[in-house]
Amino acid sequence: MHAEEEVHLLHTLTRLISEASDLHAALGVALQTIGEATGWMLGQAWIPNSDTVLECIPAWYGKGAAGEVVRSASETLTLSLNEGLPGRVWASKEPLWLHGESLAAIIPCGAIAHEAGLHAALGIPLLAAERVVAVLEFYLGEPRQEDTRLMGIVSNAALHMGDLIQKKRAEADLERQATHDALTDLYNRRSFDDRTAQELARAERHGHPLAFLLVDLDHFKAINDGHGHYTGDMVLKAVAQSILKSSRSTDLVFRWGGDEFVILLSEATREGVRTAATRIRTAVQTVANEMRLPLDLSIGIAMYPEHGRTGEELIRLADRALYLAKKSGDPIKIGEEDYQLTDHAVTVVFQPVMNIRTGQVIGYEALTRDAGGKLSVHELFAKYERIGKLQELKCLCFTAQLRKACEVGLRRVFLNVDFWILRHLVPPQKPPETEVILEISELEALDHVEERIEIGSAWRARGYKFAIDDFGAGYISLPFIARLIPEYIKIDRSTLLQAVSSPQFQEFMIGLVFALRSYSTDGIIIEGVETEQELEIAKAMGAFLIQGYLFGKPKEWDGAMLQQSPPVEDQPPQAA
């Protein structure tokens, strides 16, 4: 009868282990089958993760609170040779039965087991080619003396199980090689699609958000080139482990390639994601300090479903966010909303140009401001210049200003442009009811005069007019002015201030303004007039078209401004 029971147990174990999906599942069914057949209260498995360390794996079998206490203590342990019951069995390659005081003396789990009411234990090695591939550990609640028959049943089963478990382990190793990075042991890029599909399906099913973090290791190339590939590999391993340790057990971490990693955070809010990203970055900075290397992270983040519903969409967005993080100086960037160049990114404001002789506003200069109101004009343009989108921003400003001027019914509007815009934009149809003056900084007129005259002629043929802006602020390009014959010349505030402080320079400007009038068909405008004294100097210089804070600061359009706008045919006077 005993022999039949043993044969039945062996057949059952063989079948269940063969059918198990992986190594942990195989050990799990082995523990449960043996435990149920022999009456043990707790069974757990330990496997070598190196030549010197045993670790307790997730597979276990148990019943009762006492078993759960020991199990909970074992989960966080690793054992070396001769340490604890599993370590002794691993070292001797022989079964070992302990009970009573001898069990309590085995450190560290023996004392915990004894206090929990477990008073007998059995350790069984699983051998394959004389090598221990796992150790099975069982506990009883009664202080039973060594049961040779029971030890024999389990030991005989273990003789056959070792090869089966080794086969499962080899299969697991092959599968792990296919799904994990050889250097860092993180999930590799090939496993990304399958795991991402599972996480996205779960997030959709439960209505939970999901975050994709694309992480780039800053300065890694310099470290790899300067310190060698061995140091580079050590850095990648250390960074991978720091990311794992600073992530939750439910998070998925992938090595994306080179010095890039991807982290999937489930059930993650924006605030939680930023907190997690900061924690990960801090952990890597700790590694940098320990290794005395200039390491840091840039992290681009995409949120499901806000930024996309597929892995491809979310990674693409995270990649753009990572680019912004590296270029903008903000190392953690969620999405690209802050940098999207849409009409919502900027606000158009208008500043009047006044004819002080008639007291009428002859037109408005359209200017751009940060829509959020947080950045100055300089900061706004610097923000997009850092990420290589300055020209795109300029084009957006031009089109937004022109459209807004048409919407509010302006009869005359001044728009700041440069030759990059004029060269790359196809001249849009000029609004028939609006006179559009394109302001070109004089500094741009110093080079490539022939090309720029040709570009200006193309726009003028579409009905646009020109103004030379910032006149006197730097170099003066009289040949360009003489050939373009701009409708307006706008004298810079810095020139006005020199005339205020120097009577001699004021006399010079009076003559210059008089001479320039022949090369400006519609008028000379003094910019930046802020005080009555400056206004009097402007009058003395012979200019009566004035722009500046004295007559109005740039502001968003309102109805009162609209009623100040005169008919387009009202031209400013041309002489003092």
**Distances in whole angstroms, Cα of residue 108 to Cα of each of 75, 82, 126, 209, 241:** 12, 11, 22, 42, 27
Record the tokens describing residue 3, joined without a space: 């022999």
The number of residues in the chain equals 576
Residue-wise pLDDT for 461-491, tens only, equals 999 999 999 888 766 677 788 888 889 999 9
Lowest mean pLDDT among 63-72, 237-246, 252-261: 63-72
Query: Cα-Cα-Cα-Cα dihedral of 430, 431, 437, 439, to 10°?
Result: -70
211 pLDDT above the threshold of 90 = yes
**Distances in whole angstroms, Cα of residue 568 to Cα of each of 153, 278, 449, 562:** 106, 57, 31, 13
Decide if 184 is inside a domain.
no
3-state SS assignment for residue 462: coil
Q: What does the pLDDT read at residue 88?
A: 92
Residues 6+ apart with CB under 8 A from 250: 266
Decide if 400 is inside a domain.
yes
Record the tokens describing residue 392, joined without a space: 């795109």
pLDDT band at 388 (very low <50, low <70, confident <90, very high): confident
SS3 string, 18-79, reads HHCCCHHHHHHHHHHHHHHHHCCCEEEEEEECCCCCEEEEEEEEECCHHHHHHHHHHHCCEE
For 29-60, give one letter per residue: b (16+ CB within 10 A) or e: bbbbbbbebbebbbbbbbbbeeeebbbbbebb
Question: Are residues 210 and 222 located together in one domain of the fold?
Answer: yes
Question: Are residues 233 and 128 located together in one domain of the fold?
Answer: no
Residue type, 88: R
Of 256 and 572, the structure prediction assigns the larger pLDDT to 256
Decide if 220 is inside a domain.
yes
Question: Are residues 128 and 203 located together in one domain of the fold?
Answer: no
Question: Are residues 175 and 195 located together in one domain of the fold?
Answer: no
pLDDT mean over 382-401: 88
Lowest mean pLDDT among 101-105, 223-227, 240-244: 101-105
CA atoms within 13 A on the CB side of 154: 31
Beta bridge partners of 303: 211
Question: Are residues 322 and 366 located together in one domain of the fold?
Answer: no
Q: What does the pLDDT read at residue 1?
A: 65
The residue from 307, 339, 371 where one domain ends is 339
Cis peptide before 108 (omega within 30 of 0): yes
Question: Are residues 42 and 132 located together in one domain of the fold?
Answer: yes
Question: Are residues 498 and 376 located together in one domain of the fold?
Answer: yes
Question: Are residues 166 and 208 located together in one domain of the fold?
Answer: no
Decide if 361 is inside a domain.
yes
The residue from 149, 179, 209 where one domain ends is 179
Lowest mean pLDDT among 109-113, 275-279, 306-310: 109-113
Decide if 573 is inside a domain.
no
Q: What does the pLDDT read at residue 560?
A: 63
Decide if 569 is inside a domain.
no
Would you say 398 and 389 are in contact if contact means Cβ atoms under 8 Å apart? no
Would you say 229 and 289 are in contact if contact means Cβ atoms under 8 Å apart? no
Question: Are residues 36 and 84 located together in one domain of the fold?
Answer: yes
**CATH code for the domain of 152:** 3.30.450.40
Would you say 322 and 315 are in contact if contact means Cβ atoms under 8 Å apart? no
Residues 6+ apart with CB under 8 A from 188: 179, 180, 181, 254, 255
pLDDT mean over 71-85: 88
Question: Are residues 293 and 433 located together in one domain of the fold?
Answer: no
Residue-wise pLDDT for 165-204, tens only, equals 777 777 777 777 778 888 998 999 888 988 899 999 999 9
**CATH code for the domain of 428:** 3.20.20.450
Give the whole-angstrom CA distance, residue 486 versus residue 510: 19
Give the whole-angstrom CA distance, residue 428 versus residue 321: 32
Residue 336, H or E segment = none
**Distances in whole angstroms, Cα of residue 322 to Cα of each of 179, 180, 213, 253, 330:** 25, 24, 9, 17, 10
Q: What does the pLDDT read at residue 481?
A: 82
**What's the mean per-residue pLDDT of the chain?**
86
Give the whole-angstrom CA distance, residue 163 versus residue 19: 14
What is the residue whose two structure tokens read 């005339």? 499
Residues 6+ apart with CB under 8 A from 324: 300, 330, 333, 336, 338, 339, 387
Would you say 349 and 367 are in contact if contact means Cβ atoms under 8 Å apart? yes
Query: Cα-Cα-Cα-Cα dihedral of 74, 78, 81, 87, to 10°?
Result: 10
Local structure of residue 529 (DSSP, 8 states): -
The residue from 117, 150, 179 where one domain ends is 179
Would you say 238 and 189 are in contact if contact means Cβ atoms under 8 Å apart? no
Question: Are residues 525 and 398 located together in one domain of the fold?
Answer: yes
Question: Are residues 41 and 135 located together in one domain of the fold?
Answer: yes
Q: For helices 493-501 and 503-516, what crossing angle results, to 10°?
A: 140
Domain of residue 375 covers 343-564
Decide if 572 is inside a domain.
no
Would you say 125 and 94 are in contact if contact means Cβ atoms under 8 Å apart? yes
Residue-wise pLDDT for 303-331, tens only, equals 999 899 999 999 999 999 999 888 887 89
Cis peptide before 305 (omega within 30 of 0): yes
567 pLDDT above the threshold of 90 = no
pLDDT band at 565 (very low <50, low <70, confident <90, very high): very low
- Among candidate residues 68, 60, 63, the one with its CA nearest the CA of residue 116: 68
Please state the φ and ψ torsions of residue 182, each to the nearest 5 degrees.
-65, -35
DSSP per-residue letters across 338-354:
GG--SGGGEEEEEEEEE
Query: Cα-Cα-Cα-Cα dihedral of 85, 89, 95, 101, to 10°?
Result: -30
Give the whole-angstrom CA distance, residue 91 versus residue 462: 91
573 pLDDT above the threshold of 50 = no
Beta strand 412-417 pairing with 360-370? parallel
Q: What does the pLDDT read at residue 574?
A: 41
Residue-wise pLDDT for 134-162, tens only, equals 899 999 888 888 888 778 777 777 777 77
Give the whole-angstrom CA distance, residue 308 versus residue 322: 16
Count structural domains, the chain. 3
Decide if 576 is inside a domain.
no
Give the whole-angstrom CA distance, residue 199 versus residue 197: 6
383 pLDDT above the threshold of 50 = yes
Local structure of residue 446 (DSSP, 8 states): G
Q: What does the pLDDT read at residue 111?
A: 77
